[in-house]
Structure 1
Amino acid sequence: MKFLRIGPLGAERPAVLGDDGTPLDLSAITPDIDGAFLSDSGVERARAALGAGDLPPAADVDTATPGRRVGAPIATPGKIIGIGLNYTDHAAATGAEPPVEPIVFIKPSDTIVGPDDDVLIPRGSSKTDHEVELAVVIGRTARYLENLGAAADAIAGYTIANDVTEREFQLERGGQWDKGKSCETFTPLGPWLVTPDEVDDVAALGLRLRVNGAPVQDGTTKDMIFGVQHIVWYLSQFMALRPGDVIITGTPAGVAMGRPDRSFLRPGDVMELEVDGLGRQRQRLVAA
């Protein structure tokens, strides 16, 4: 299933895509796509209603109509957990040694915006950068998971994230990654939350990003150093993962930081992202 939230910021409505791609209204099933929905058999209830043909078309939730805003597919996650340097080609391109354990950082949940919302270049920024990533959404509380199978059972689905990063803030202002990851609008998410049964092989998904129409990132999750299930298992040894939490799992090579032939992002630039089977994003850069 592909869940989405559509409408003005703060007033998004829950929907699911029908077999023909038509958004169907989930308001009778849940007030929102959030941790409570994921942990309270919401997915199963939505699946049953969809199979029975009980969901009406969402006439005012039409992604094909100009001006219809698509919000992030998960509402108010408790936390966003990032994994750094998790692709072999990205580590090599930036001159970093591949990590022996996952590098973990936290992003504020209020950095999340919709997949096509504007991204603000923060004041004082000179090195704002892009990172197309596979995002994992947690569907049940997970702590001290015993194995990778238990980790797989904790996953509600997948979506696309753009882990926008200000490199000067990240690396040159005291060496604290969170400074460069936490700026307003720095986590575009969506368009859909795709359940695991609709993802053929999470370890073989293509990820691509273009800036102003020019391809700059073109990778595959095959190049992950730590796979999705390992990351979920690993994080559960250090923190409780809650329904609705989002894990962004790293980016392939092609970011501006690792390419001296490319400039960093500027106002007016346009980023376009896609991940196989998970949809597309498009953001315009504007000055804060």
Structure 2
Amino acid sequence: MSFVLNPPPVAAVPVAGVAPGALFPVHRIYCVGRNYVEHAKEMGFTGREPPFFFMKPADAVLPVAEGQVGTMAYPSLTKDLHHEVELVVAIGQGGRAIKAADALRHVWGYAVGLDMTRRDLQGEAKKQGRPWCIGKGFDASAPIGTIRRAADCTIGPETAIVLDVNGAPRQKSTLGKLIWSVPEIIEHLSAAWELQPGDLIFTGTPEGVAAVVPGDLLAARIDGLGSLQLRIGEPTP
């Protein structure tokens, strides 16, 4: 096979509990919108609406290994960058029309992620009835911590999901408050797309989303799973 350009490197995320230096190759990034009741309310919606999805490019991942502090440059075009802490599901076995009862056997592992959002650009796109890719799918918009194998994670309905900014709490909830559970998400998602090994699913964020500015330190964690630390840097010249 001959390419007219050098292929870009494969987007990948560090993993724990396997060979040193092992990486999880990213195929696609799916995100679930408004999957916590209180977050839906703060965005102006109520109720358990059918799940909906949007996507980010695979190379939007910004991997940050456990114990390290990553840096994300403040993105261009926005004056209202928001944080959204989320449980990320890493798919190890693909499939189409997967039933919820079978869904967890398709999961390779889990990680802590941040769905970073240019909220002003997303809001303007919504007003005009346009796609909001510019608000969600920009460069480095998907920071993610080390992925751990599902068998090595101790998570359940009471598991805390937390985000602090500069040491002050911003978001705090539990995984049991997801409107659509991980198996249900996989069932709905695989009805629309054939899932592939390497897919990542950002499962939605709890209430408390807010703006960050250069210099802010974000510390996200999901108990029994891991943590993610991210510094917001100055805008790229």
User: How does the TM-score come out when normalised to structure 1?
Assistant: 0.71
CA contact (8 A) 1:144 1:237 kept: yes
Equivalence for 2:203: 249
Q: Match for 2:71 among 118, 129, 136?
A: 118
3-state secondary structure, aligned to 2:192: coil
User: How does the TM-score come out when normalised to structure 2?
Assistant: 0.85
Q: Match for 2:215 among 265, 268, 276?
A: 268
1:41-190 mapped onto 2 (5 Å cutoff):
74-75=24-25, 77-115=26-64, 116-145=69-98, 147-173=99-125, 174=128, 175-190=130-145
CA shift for structure 1 position 221? 1.1
Q: Distance in 2 between matches of 1:180 and 1:16?
A: 31
The superposition leaves residues 30-72 of structure 1 with CA deviations (integer Å, 9 ceiling, x where unpaired) of xx43xxxxxxxxxxxxxxxxxxxxxxxxxxxxxxxxxxxxxxx
Letter in 1 for 2:135: G
Mark the runs of 5 or more structure 1 residues left unpaired by the alignment: 1-8, 18-23, 34-73, 257-263
Q: Distance in 2 between matches of 1:141 and 1:12?
A: 17
Greater strand content = 2
Q: Match for 2:176 among 204, 207, 222?
A: 222
Mark the runs of 5 or more structure 2 residues left unpaired by the alignment: 1-8
3-state secondary structure, aligned to 1:204: coil
Using the TM superposition, name which of 265-274 and 242-251 deviates more.
Answer: 265-274
Equivalence for 2:6: none
Q: Distance in 2 between matches of 1:12 and 1:238?
A: 24
CA contact (8 A) 1:203 1:227 kept: no
Q: Distance in 2 between matches of 1:13 and 1:130?
A: 20
3-state secondary structure, aligned to 1:203: coil
3-state secondary structure, aligned to 2:76: coil
Using the TM superposition, name which of 203-212 and 105-114 deviates more.
Answer: 203-212
The superposition leaves residues 196-253 of structure 1 with CA deviations (integer Å, 9 ceiling, x where unpaired) of 2233343332111111111100111111110000000111100011001000000000
Letter in 1 for 2:79: S
Q: Distance in 2 between matches of 1:233 and 1:83?
A: 13
Letter in 2 for 1:156: W
* Structure exhibiting the larger radius of gyration computed from Cα positions: 1
1:185-196 mapped onto 2 (5 Å cutoff):
185-191=140-146, 193-196=147-150
Q: How many residues align?
A: 220
CA contact (8 A) 1:206 1:275 kept: yes
Q: Please say if 1:211 is aligned against 2:138.
A: no
CA shift for structure 1 position 277? 1.3
The superposition leaves residues 108-129 of structure 1 with CA deviations (integer Å, 9 ceiling, x where unpaired) of 1111012232112222211100
Q: Please say if 1:200 is aligned against 2:147.
A: no
Distance 1:104 1:10, change over 3 A: closer
Q: Distance in 2 between matches of 1:181 and 1:252?
A: 17
CA contact (8 A) 1:120 1:184 kept: no
Equivalence for 1:70: none
Q: Which has the higher contact order (CA 8 A, sep 6+)?
A: 2
Q: Distance in 1 between matches of 2:47 and 2:115?
A: 19
Letter in 2 for 1:123: S
Q: Distance in 2 between matches of 1:94 and 1:15?
A: 33
Q: Distance in 1 between matches of 2:33 and 2:39?
A: 10
